[in-house]
Amino acid sequence: MKAVVLREFKTPLRLEEVEDVKGLGRDEVLLKIEMTGVCYRDILTVDGYFPKTRLPVILGHEICGRVVDVGEDVVEFKKGDRVASLTYIPCGECVECRRGEENICRRRLWFGEDINGSYAEYLKTSHRSLVRASEDLSSEAVAISACVTGMLIHALKTKGRLTQDERILITGATGGVGVHAIQIAKSYGADVIAVTGREQYIDRLYKLGADHVIVSRNGVYSNEVKSITEGVGVDIVLECVGLNLIESLKSVRWGGRIIQVGNIKPEPIPLMLGHFILKEVSLHGSLSCTRKELAEALELHRSGRVKPITIVLPLEQVEEAHRMIRERRHFGRIMLKVS
């Protein structure tokens, strides 16, 4: 089959011919991949930021596929089913998995890092990762439903407890996460302030539903947030970038919360803990989503309230796709069409 294999960190990516997937375990499912999303995490993986990555590995964890074969213990899925997948395989047995928090399963296997991923024609997975996706959904919607839509449901609803009429600040608004976060926050009834460094996209952000757009080229935006919110600050900051926690801290109201979902430069940052104490601000890390949230994400796409904003390239153009993200030339999620 054809696949994109990361053999060494920091090397260019290309499509190559590799051995077919074989030997399906009792609880395993073989998928034919339709579409895969390109995540900033893939860039960090290529750059070697996750040292536990098991090289060589096929990249990719944002999956839309169709079942072509199932192991003998799999009863929930059958050949021909169209599926969305979690970004990992949960163990299904640990305390977190039993509590329904499989996103933080300590034995989870992450596609494209711990095990082979979806930049390939076929993927071997477990039924524990899958949710059936209806035929009327686009392959883009299915592929972003875990790492983007489901992740945002987890961040905004489960962790952030975003309620109607609250004000939310979304950083990195033109990125693959940001453009969908605006739509999801609006579907929850929130008032959205979007921050971007790219002036040319102001109109598109308003069209997606943003109530205010702040253009900030130097990473400073708290003064504008303050003036939009009459000096109060926003209830929630959804931090998709991870470069400006201090600005986010200045932008959030007393008693507000910051939800950290992105970190494009994984390096230590200086912080004044006193600001968290004195303003009673809480900081939540938020990772991916559970199977229940993945099912909810698919429903949200079916309702039409969240539309995939994507740029689709063929899998052969994987290196170009990564370059577009590195050079910030994209608006929305870049996807690779596999079949």
Q: Does 94 bind Zn ion (CB under 5 A)?
A: yes
C-beta of 113 vs 166, nearer to Zn ion: 113
Dist. CA 192–CA 236, nearest whole Å: 10
Separation between Cα atoms, residue 226 and residue 230, nearest integer Å: 6
Q: Whose Cβ is closer to Zn ion: residue 94's or residue 324's? A: 94
Least distance CB 199 / Zn ion (angstroms): 27
From candidates 74, 147, 168, 210, binder to Zn ion by CB under 5 A:
147
Nearer of residues 62 and 247 to Zn ion, judged by Cβ:
62
Reading the block at residue 288, the tokens are 């991916």
Query: How big, in percent rounded to 5, are the helix, strand and coil portions of the chain?
Result: 30, 30, 40
Q: Is 50 helix (H, G, I), strand (E, B) or coil?
A: coil
Whichever of 69 and 101 has its CB closer to Zn ion, that residue is 101
Tokens linked to 98? 């039993």
Question: Do 202 and 271 touch, CB atoms closer than 8 A?
Answer: no
Task: Return the SS3 of 99.
Answer: coil
- Candidates 15, 97, 173, 306: give the one binding Zn ion (CB under 5 A): 97
Taking the complex as a whole, the smallest distance from the CB of residue 128 to Zn ion amounts, in Å, to 9
Closer CB to Zn ion, 40 or 201, in the complex = 40
Is position 294 an interface residue for Zn ion (rule: CB under 5 A)?
Answer: no
- Region from 98-106, 152-160, 262-270, 327-335 binding Zn ion, contact rule CB under 5 A: 98-106
* Among the residue ranges 39-47, 51-59, 214-222, 331-339, the one whose residues contact Zn ion (CB under 5 A): 39-47
Burial (CB < 10 A; 0-12, 13-18, 19+), residue 129, is buried
Taking residues 167 to 196 in sequence order and writing x for each that binds Zn ion by CB under 5 A, - otherwise, the string is ------------------------------
| 3 state DSSP class of 337 | strand
Cβ 153 to Zn ion, closest distance in Å? Answer: 14
Q: Judged by CB under 5 A, which stretch of 24-32, 142-150, 227-235, 257-265 contacts Zn ion?
A: 142-150
Q: Does 144 bind Zn ion (CB under 5 A)?
A: no
Nearer to Zn ion, 42 or 166 (CB): 42
The strand pairing partners of 109, in sequence order, are 89
**Consecutive H or E run containing 123:** strand 122-126
Q: What are the backbone dihedrals phi and psi of residue 268, each rounded to the nearest 5 degrees, phi first?
A: -65, 150
Q: In whole angstroms, give the CA distance from residue 237 to residue 173.
A: 12
CB of 229 to Zn ion, least distance (A): 31
Measured from the CB of residue 7, what is the shortest distance to Zn ion in angstroms?
21
Please tell me the number of Cα atoms within 13 Å of 294 on its side-chain side.
Answer: 29
Report d(CA 214, CA 222) in Å as an integer: 10
Q: Which of 57, 78, 63 is nearest to 127 (CA)?
A: 78
From residue 42 to residue 81, what is the string marking binding to Zn ion with x (rule CB under 5 A)? --------------------x-------------------
Closest contact distance (angstroms) between CB of 106 and Zn ion is: 7
Q: Is 39 in the site for Zn ion (CB under 5 A)?
A: yes
Beta bridge partners of 63: 36
Q: For residue 196, what is the enclosing H or E element?
A: strand 191-196
Query: Does 141 interact with Zn ion (rule: CB under 5 A)?
Result: no
Q: Which is nearer to Zn ion, 151 or 300 (CB)?
A: 151
State which of residues 4, 29, 105, 169 lies at the interface with Zn ion (CB under 5 A): 105
Give SS3 for 296: helix
| 18, 44, 91, 109: residue in contact with Zn ion (rule CB under 5 A) | 91
Size of the site for Zn ion (CB under 5 A): 8
- Residues at the contact surface with Zn ion, assessed by CB under 5 A: 39, 62, 90-91, 94, 97, 105, 147
